[in-house]
Structure formats: C-alpha cells, structure tokens
Amino acid sequence: MLLSAAPVMAQDVPEAPAGAPITGPVSILPNLATPSDADSGPTEPSVDVGDIAAPGVDRIGLVDTAMGGFSPQLWRGTDLETLREIMPRLPRRVNSPAERHLLKNLLLSPGAPPAAPRGEDSVGGTDAVAALNASQWLLETRVATLAGLGEWADVQALMELVPPAQMTEGLKRLKTEANLVTNHVNPACTEAQAALATSPDPYWQKIQVFCQYSIDQASAASLGLSILREQHVDDAVFFWAIDVLGGNPAPAPAGFTKLEPLHYAMLRKANATLPANLADVQSKITDPSTLGWLAALQPAEEVAVKGDKTPEAVKRERRRALEEARILLTERAVAVGTIGVDALRALYAKVDAKNPAPPPLSQITAGDVRGRALLYQSALAQTVPTARAEVIALALDLVRVDKGEKGPDLTVMGPAYANMLEEMEPSGDLVWFAGTAARALLAAGPEDRVATEKAKGWVDLSRNMARTSSDAGLVADSIWPVEKLLAPSGTPIPPQALRAWTAALPTNLAPDVAAQRRETLLSVLAAAGEPVTSADWQGLLNGPVKSANVSLLSPAIWNGLDLAAKSKRVGEASALALVALGEDGTHISLASLQHVIESLRAVGREDDARALAVEALLVSGL
C-alpha cells in the first residue's frame, strides 16, 4: 500500500493551519497602484467592457505593479476568444523559479478581461451580463491554475475576496478545497452542507461523510458511505482514505498517482504515514500538490513481528530504498515549489553516512541519491570555511555538469546549500569559490532577495581582486555573463571580455561543446538586450547551418507571441510566453527561449526577462 495510518487521533476540527506544505503569508491589496508606463499597453482607446464589467471581481488580486505584478489593463487589446484558448494552456507544474515567479504574478494580478463581441452572450442576456460572465470565467481560471500549481494559500486568500453573489459553482468548490488543504475544516463542512441543499454532486456528499467522521458521527458517516456506494461513485482513493481514517489501513488503489484536497485532508486527519513501498510509485507522481503533501508525511515505523524471519540485510535494503524514494520525492516537490527546501535539507542530514560504507566524495556521481546527502552532510560538518567551500564546490560542480539529466538541477541544489553560503563571508582566501557561491545563490530565483544580494557580494569579490590575482581573474571572467545580466550597462560587449570568458572554459571541453556554450551565451545575452555584434559570432558561423534534434515552438504559439509583443498586449504576451516555456522552463530550445525573453522585454517585463536569462545560463552550466 502507499500510505498506512497510525491510530486515529481525537476527532477535533482545528481551525488554524497545521503544517500544510503551502507558501507563507500573502498580502491582500484592494487599492491598486498606478500602472507603470512600461506596463500600460498600447495607446489606442481602452476596450469597452460594457456597463458593469463586474468591478468587484475584476479588482480581486494579491499583487500590484509595485510588487512585480501587472497593471489592471494587462488584457487590453486582447481578443476574448483568444484569451479563452490561452489561459487553460498555462503550465500547472513549473520547475523554473523564474517562470513560476512570472506565472504567479500574472495570476495574482487583478484586471478586467477583454470584452465579448457586442451582442454575443451565450446566456442570451445583455452585454453587461456577458462582461460579468467573462470576469467570473477569468477569475475562476486564474484560481484553478494557482490550485494546479499547489499555491493553496493564495487560492484561499483570493477566495476570501469574492463577493458571495458572484461565486460560481467552480469558485465555491475551489474555496472549499482551499479550506480543506489549509486545515480550515469547519468552513469547508459549512460550505459542503450549503451546497448539498441545491446540488446533487457526489463531491459534496463525500465531504459531508468526512465531516461526520471528524465529529464522531460514525453512524451518519456510514449511512452516507452506503449511499455513495449505491450511486457507484468512482473514487477509489476516497474509499481507501475513509478506511485509513477509520483506523483500518488497506492497500492503496492500484495505479494511485494523485491526491485531491479532500483525500489529503482525510489522510492528514488520520495521521497517515508513508509506507516502505514508496519507491515503487514515487516516479509516477507528477501533480505538484501531491508531491508536496506526500513529501511532508513521515514514514511508518517498522514494527517487530514475532516469527518474522526476513534477513536483516533485506530489511536494511528496504529502509534504504524508502529513504532514497523520500529524497527523490522531496527534491521534485522542491523543484515545483510545493515544499520548502528545509525539508530536503532535513532528509539529507538524516541519511546514515556509515552503513553501508560511503565511497570517497570525489567518486560520487550526479545520479547518486545517497551521495548527494553525503556531500551535504560533509559540508555541514566542516567548521573551517575553506574546507566547507571545497565540499560545496565538489557537490555543485556535479550539478553544473549534469544540468538536471540524472539528478536535480542547480535551481534545487543551489537553494539546498544557500543557508551555508549565506553564513560565509566573501574573503580573499575564498576568491576561487566566488563563482560557485554566486551561481548557487542566484539559482534560488528572483523571489529570494537575500540570496541575490549575497551573490552580488561574491561577484564583486572576484571583480575587485581580478587585477592582483590570476585566480580571481579566471573566476571573474567565467562569471562575467551573469554579472552583465545582473547589472546591464547597454554598452557593447568588450571583445576582450568574450575572449577572456572563452579562455576560462574548462580545457577538457570538446570543441563542439565549447562552441555550443558560446552559442548559448550569445543567444541569451542578445535576448536580454545586450548589444551582441556580428563580430561576436565569428568563429561560430563555420559550424552547422541547422541545429539537430531541436524542438521549436508551434507556428501558432511562435507567431501569436510575436504579434502580442509587437502590439504591446502585455498580459497576452506574458501568458503565451508561459505557454511556450511550459513545464520545461529554461530547458527549452535556445531559439524558443530567445524568442520568449525578447517578447517579454518588448512588453516591459524586463525583470522577468532577465531572471529567465540568468537562470538559463545557470542551468546550462555556464
């Protein structure tokens, strides 16, 4: 089975959040800032949105332009039917911190949708009713996408702002699910009871059964279960979770890969634990919320069984497999942002470093799960900064070379070491380490301002010492592209800087790999608006005319993004950029990534464009 349960706890119904793997506090900003010039869209008259346009719904958001969000006119100039096609295609699982930052800001920003064509209303009412329908659809789509990302705290905060009269059936369900996830069980039960008065949907009946179990109404819950079974409700995970909640653990349904909010609430109430066979299913789980919820659970303790003749070596191997499966699951949850990196650090720290005997640190490979933990433990154990830096450099060099193929990429492992790096002060005896430290800290993404500022300190160290130290000069030359993206000057790239960067590449690189790195560098710099010249491409023009094994964007997405960017349709261009990035983030083809970055810059999303550019250089190993 996938999950087992400890004895059911006292059936209270707590109202305060209790450890759900969600994001931190959110801000509710009813007063919107004045739109910036860069985000104001085209100069033609604003789109007519009818007489009412649901201002209460349109003004619902948690960020404004001062916080990196979009102006309320973000959809100005966009065709409504085009928006209806784009929004459902926004990615729901995002491994890129820079992409996730842009996506969340798009979803959390208030703004009126485009107007429906005059006189067209599927309900058969007025233009004003059509505008209201569009507003409700857009809000519901925004909230559903946030839920898909696992951003349940933001979902709940947005739902608290929706007027009751403008709640659609979809919004009611999302509000209930947010309350279940964040452990606000009483409101969820109240909402389910109200919905049952008007809706025959078995979903609400299932919640009612859970609520009855929660307040020790076992007889009523059993009756409700019987009715659901008679209705042939198809939800094997629900019936299994009810068994777990009732203290009767049973094997999880075959093919289990996803938990719904109700399932999670039931298993949390049952104090459920992970079993030993997590290794068999963890690789099949892709849903961000499920990854975070399972990563937050503890494994079941082994109970000695009289007469059990299982060899100790077999038991030890079973424990090791579970331990590695939990680490892999948690690494993936960190990558999609549904659990904090502290959970991963705790798992790394718990790995038994002596049994079996560990290999030399220098022999650990990128795909070695236990090896990643041993490197982390070794770095943590060092008290001398130089010794700690040597271990961290060894661990992160593996990640940079691997680029996420066999293990997690730098956007996971950089933050894992960020706490140690933030404690280390840039100093002359660590200048050789400056490039590694800066890259790891920057990999935390644009939301971690502390790490970004600390990274700049390491960059400054290498630059300041470059005139007097050859080691510092090599580091400064190798990290020069990132430095230029962090502090754009708008001046042409000095030829000597590009030559120095090329000379700083590892000497064992094959010529085609070195050429590929230079292509990546120049493409990303050009996309970010740095003045790359034809002379900078010299030496690469004699290479292949076409790139092999490259998957480009479809013509519809490529041209749609191009048209939106040229017409300064800010929201549309940003949404299409996110569709183009998809779940791959900055791992997409170089030409596609360049087009995305250039399009974001064209509509004034300069910070987002540069964050993607920096991340692209980091995850590609530059």
Q: What is the pLDDT of residue 392?
A: 95
| DSSP structural state of residue 231 | T
| Residue 62 reports pLDDT greater than 90 | yes
Cα dist. 201→133, 179, 196, 260 in Å? 22, 19, 8, 16
Q: How far apart are CA 266 and CA 211, in angstroms?
A: 9
pLDDT digits (tens, 9 = 90+) for 478-492: 888 888 888 777 777
Q: What is the pLDDT of residue 264?
A: 95
Confidence of residue 304 (pLDDT cuts 50, 70, 90): low
Q: How far apart are CA 615 and CA 586, in angstroms?
A: 7
Q: How far apart are CA 582 and CA 587, in angstroms?
A: 10
Does residue 24 or residue 388 have the better pLDDT? 388
Torsion angles phi and psi, residue 475, rounded to 5: -65, -45
Cα dist. 29→32, 59, 158, 557, 569 in Å? 7, 9, 11, 33, 24
- Give the three-state DSSP class for 416: helix
Per residue in 6-28, is it b (16+ CB within 10 Å) or e — as a string?
Answer: eeeeeeeeeeeeeebbbeeebee
pLDDT digits (tens, 9 = 90+) for 227-264: 998 888 888 889 988 888 888 777 777 778 899 999 99
Confidence of residue 25 (pLDDT cuts 50, 70, 90): very low
Query: What is the secondary structure of 419-478 as a DSSP string?
Result: HHHHHSPP-GGGGGGHHHHHHHHHTT-TT-HHHHHHHHHHHHHHHHHTTT-HHHHHHHHH
pLDDT digits (tens, 9 = 90+) for 510-557: 888 888 888 888 889 889 888 888 888 888 877 777 776 667 889 999
Q: How far apart are CA 472 and CA 431, in angstroms?
A: 6
Cα dist. 112→157, 165, 312, 447, 560 in Å? 19, 18, 64, 26, 21
Cα dist. 206→57, 214, 249, 614 in Å? 29, 13, 19, 47
Confidence of residue 45 (pLDDT cuts 50, 70, 90): very low
Global pTM reads 0.86
Average pLDDT of span 54-69 = 83
The answer to whether the peptide bond before residue 544 is cis (omega within 30 degrees of 0) is no
Per residue in 532-552, is it b (16+ CB within 10 Å) or e — as a string?
Answer: beeebeeeeeeeeeeeeeeee
Q: What is the pLDDT of residue 18?
A: 37
CB 416 within 8 A of CB 388: no
3-state helix, strand, coil in the chain (%, to 5): 60, 0, 40
CB 206 within 8 A of CB 238: yes
Confidence of residue 5 (pLDDT cuts 50, 70, 90): very low
Cα dist. 602→82, 342, 564 in Å? 20, 37, 9
Q: How far apart are CA 93 and CA 109, in angstroms?
A: 20
Q: How far apart are CA 325 and CA 297, in angstroms?
A: 13
**Residue 240 corresponds to which tokens in the numbers above?**
């299994």
CA torsion, ordered 575, 576, 580, 584, to nearest 10 deg: 0
For 160-217, where are the alpha helices, taking DSSP H only?
169-181, 185-196, 202-214
End-to-end alpha-carbon separation of the chain, Å? 43
Lowest mean pLDDT among 108-122, 173-187, 591-605: 108-122
Q: What is the pLDDT of residue 149?
A: 97
Question: Which residues, 6 or more positions from 152, have their beta carbon under 8 angstroms from its beta carbon?
Answer: 20, 22, 177, 178, 181, 182, 261, 289
What is the CB-side half-sphere exposure of residue 414 using CA atoms within 13 A? 29
Region of residue 352 (left: phi > 0; alpha: psi -120 to 50; beta: else): beta
Dihedral sign computed on CA atoms, order 157, 163, 168, 173: positive
The total of other beta-carbon atoms located within 10 Å of residue 456's CB is 17
pLDDT digits (tens, 9 = 90+) for 311-327: 877 777 888 888 888 99
What ranges do the domains of the chain cover?
4-245, 516-543+550-622
Confidence of residue 108 (pLDDT cuts 50, 70, 90): very high
Segments of 253-305 assigned E as strands = 272-273
- For residue 303, give the H/E element and its range: none
**Residue 376 corresponds to which tokens in the numbers above?**
């982390």
Q: What is the pLDDT of residue 126?
A: 62
